[in-house]
Amino acid sequence: MKAKWITILLALALLIPLGLSQAQEEVVLQFWHTYNETSPEAEMLVETLIPMFEEAHPGIRVESVPFPYGEFRQTMLTALAGGQGPDLARLDIIWSPEFADLGLLAALDEVMPDFQDYADEVFPGPLSTNTYNGHTYGLPLDTNTRVFMYNTTLYEQAGIEAPPATIDELAAQCDAIKGLGDNYYVFADGGTYGWAVLPWIWSFGGDITDPEITTASGYLNGEATVAAYEFLYEMVSSGCFSPSFIGAAEVDASTSYFTDITASILDGPWMFPIAEAQYPDFTIETALMPAGDGGSISVVGGENIAMFASTAHPEEALEFIRFTQSDEYQLAMSETGQLTVLPRLLETEYYQTHPYYGIFLRQLETARARLPHPAWTTIEEVLTDTGQLILRGEMSVQDALDAAAEEIDGILAEYAG
């Protein structure tokens, strides 16, 4: 009997130090992101950057949780609704307004005492994608844009000497490329979402809404935007552009580019590391987006880092955000195709002598961002569907865009006032 009691007491005594050590245990930060796992991005984060941060900050552990891009927004929203969200996330710049609008993000300009020091160091454009209703909810992590990439093998075979400077010149390549065979295309893209169609709309001089984002009527169904869609319809229906625009191609746009089926695409800097890893013999050649009446205007992409209002460890999370704004983090990620958001780094030798960032920086001078609006996801759905109706020839361009403008006006009205 006595022995039994002693055992129980001993067992309890063993639990005490366990409880104590648990109380002092390190803080674990969950960092959710879409850093690409097939290119070196995720590897750089997990194997170099996070260990670097953890070494400098004993007691903080950063758990990297990668997601495929397509599922990320939804998974995050569902998790946050259930109170299971991360501490930090790398958000596509188009999601920041929506997450801020839902009250999920911590306003960094309020909770981060040295916020302004960091804000002053980044490009104002990418920084502005974090601002919603007068507060700033994050800091930019990386920026990018799409430039024109062409396939030298196909250019050589078709006798095309230089990349097109204008949209008209691009269209004029059709005969030469089609001369190689029916299943060769001048250009390919993955669909009719904003990322794909906006460079055409803007370069034709069109737009989706007015600059204040209050109405789509007169812009989305305006003359220049109509001309842009007419052009795309003509190109796709004549077979000059790949049926990948309507999801009816054998392979996706970038694969068809790498495998000498499509002569050109628009894409971002991450294509270089991907090519290196998967198509080592392929050389990507670049040019600016072919110009139209509106100039050579591409679309700005990129990601922000944001802290969730629900985090239990704001101090530690902010410390990681500061780390992402350091030269070390930004330069390391630059090696994986992530363009820095720190202008000061452009003066470094790394950027001055970089083989391919130059063209992206030039394109960024005129590139524009998608609507910084909390309803962007819904608006883009309308845009995507409308583009499909047009390119599949199910509706005339004007009718389809009139209907879309009306629908988007309705969506915008819900957020007005």
Residue 147 or 306: the one with the smaller Cβ distance to another protein is 306
Tokens of 365: 């001078």
- Sign of the CA dihedral with 249 first, then 255, 257, and 258 last: negative
Min dist CB 74 to another protein, Å, is 5
The distance of closest approach from Cβ of residue 250 to another protein in the complex, given in angstroms and rounded to an integer, is 5
Q: Which is nearer to another protein, 98 or 303 (CB)?
A: 98
CA 117/CA 241 separation, integer angstroms: 47
Least CB distance to another protein at residue 173 (A):
24
**Nearest distance in Å: CB 115, another protein:** 24
Tokens 């700033």, residue? 136
Q: What is the DSSP letter of 136?
A: E
Q: Cβ(146)–Cβ(271) under 8 Å? A: no
Nearer to another protein, 246 or 361 (CB): 246
Minimal distance in Å, beta carbon 388 to another protein? 5
Nearest to 99 by CA among 301, 309, 299, 381: 309
Q: Which is nearer to another protein, 197 or 342 (CB)?
A: 197
Taking each helix axis from N to C terminus, what angle separates 223-237 and 376-391, rounded to the nearest 10 degrees? 50
Q: Compute the least distance from the CB of residue 378 to another protein, in Å.
A: 6
Cβ proximity to another protein, 127 vs 249, nearer residue: 249
CB nearer another protein, residue 152 or residue 378? 378
For 143-222, where are the alpha helices, taking DSSP H only?
152-158, 167-172, 174-178, 194-203
Is the Cβ of residue 174 or residue 389 nearer to another protein in the bound state?
A: 389
DSSP calls for 380-406: HHHHHHHHHHHHTTSS-HHHHHHHHHH
Least separation in angstroms between residue 86's CB and another protein is 15
Three-state DSSP class for residue 48 = helix
Binding site for another protein (CB under 8 A): 74, 77-78, 80-81, 83, 102-104, 243, 246-251, 310, 377-378, 381, 385, 388-389, 392
Radius of gyration of the chain (CA): 25
CB contact at 8 A, 347 and 335: no
DSSP-derived secondary structure letter, 295: B
In the bound complex, what is the minimum distance in angstroms from residue 387's beta carbon to another protein?
10
Cβ-based neighbour number of residue 234 at 10 Å: 13
Q: Report the length, in residues, of the chain.
A: 417
Residue 287 phi, psi (nearest 5): -150, 170
| Shorter beta-carbon distance to another protein: residue 291 or 400 | 400
DSSP 49: I
